[in-house]
């Protein structure tokens, strides 16, 4: 019956853009609530978010347990659902079940509490959901802010989120491309179209000893090292200097330049 109701609502509002919202911090996080409210200014909003946080899950899928979803509430043109799966599960479930075959005009993921710039893009559950959207031909955006606090201040970011989403709805995207949008904390100077910074994580685990005699255990931690701190065209530079970074990101990870070099190699067995 819930699916039927969603279908009826969508059929009644075919003239409005349909916007699918998800995240990796959980359906009750502040970031997704802010994002849903902003998207409600642009169209009809269906939220399907994880029931609990799934940070660092990238494109993970639930394959060893069933997935369930349930309606949380409906306020105005925002209908919220909670899903027991990952962010990518949420997108797949929405497209295959919840939306009854109607493809969203836009998918937005976030607003993530914490940066997804540089190498973080490949670990991010927020961006994993955006990748799943663009893989299915939906213009998709991942929004993040560098503030990890669950009570982060999104006020400076709000008008930019709305403007970027509106432009994507109007302009569209090339196939299999999405936007990775990250904002600094506090006042924002503007927007920089950026490239992904070259960097890496070091000292990634905090090693501890179990006082009950069960050996060592480890907490994931680490420090990000910017490999090109002087480059002014990267997402990390933009964020460090008070700008929003916008990185067009492809899911085709083929290195076409190196492919030309590889053509000179011989992988065949004589």
Positive/negative CA dihedral, 253, 61, 90, 104: positive
What is the model's pTM?
Answer: 0.91
Q: What is the per-residue pLDDT across 10-39, written as a single tens digit (0 to 9) for each?
A: 555 668 999 999 999 999 999 999 999 999
pLDDT (0 to 100) of residue 221: 86
pLDDT (0 to 100) of residue 1: 41
Please state whether 240 falls in left (phi above 0), alpha (psi between -120 and 50) or beta. alpha
Rounded CA gap, 255 and 129, in Å? 23
Task: Determine the topology of domain 2-197+232-259 in CATH.
Answer: Stationary-phase Survival Protein Sure Homolog; Chain: A, (3.40.1210)
**pLDDT value at 222 more than 90:** no
Q: What is the per-residue pLDDT across 170-210, written as a single tens digit (0 to 9) for each?
A: 998 888 999 999 999 999 999 999 999 999 888 888 989 99
46: nearest Cα among 78, 85, 70, 17: 78
Strands 69-75, 78-83: parallel, antiparallel or unpaired by DSSP? antiparallel
Where exactly are the structural domains of the chain?
2-197+232-259
Q: Are 44 and 13 in contact (CB under 8 A)?
A: yes
Rounded CA gap, 198 and 220, in Å? 21
Q: For residue 248, what are the β-bridge partners?
A: 179
């Amino acid at each position: 019956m819930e699916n039927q109701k969603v279908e009826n609502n969508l059929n009644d509002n075919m003239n409005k853009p349909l916007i699918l919202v998800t995240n990796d911090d959980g359906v009750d996080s502040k970031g997704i609530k802010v994002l849903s409210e902003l998207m409600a200014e642009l169209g009809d909003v269906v939220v399907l978010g994880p029931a609990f946080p799934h940070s660092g899950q990238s494109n993970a899928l639930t394959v060893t347990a069933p997935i369930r979803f349930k309606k949380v509430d409906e306020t105005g043109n925002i209908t919220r659902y909670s899903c027991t799966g990952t962010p990518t599960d949420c997108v797949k479930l929405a497209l295959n079940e919840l939306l009854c075959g109607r493809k969203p005009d836009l998918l937005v993921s976030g607003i993530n509490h914490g940066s997804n710039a540089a190498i973080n893009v490949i670990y991010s559950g927020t961006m994993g959901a955006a990748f799943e959207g663009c893989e299915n031909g939906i213009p998709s955006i991942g929004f993040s802010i560098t503030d990890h606090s669950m009570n982060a201040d999104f006020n400076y970011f709000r008008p930019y989120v709305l403007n970027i989403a509106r432009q994507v709805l109007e302009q569209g995207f090339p196939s299999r491309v999405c936007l990775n949008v990250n904002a600094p904390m506090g006042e924002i100077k503007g927007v920089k179209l950026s490239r992904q910074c070259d960097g890496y994580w070091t000292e990634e685990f905090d090693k501890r000893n179990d006082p009950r005699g069960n050996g060592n255990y480890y907490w994931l931690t680490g420090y990000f090292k910017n490999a090109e701190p002087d480059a002014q065209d990267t997402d990390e530079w933009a964020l460090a200097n008070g700008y929003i970074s916008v990185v067009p990101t492809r899911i085709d990870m083929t290195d076409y330049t190196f492919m030309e070099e590889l053509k000179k190699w011989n992988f065949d067995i004589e």
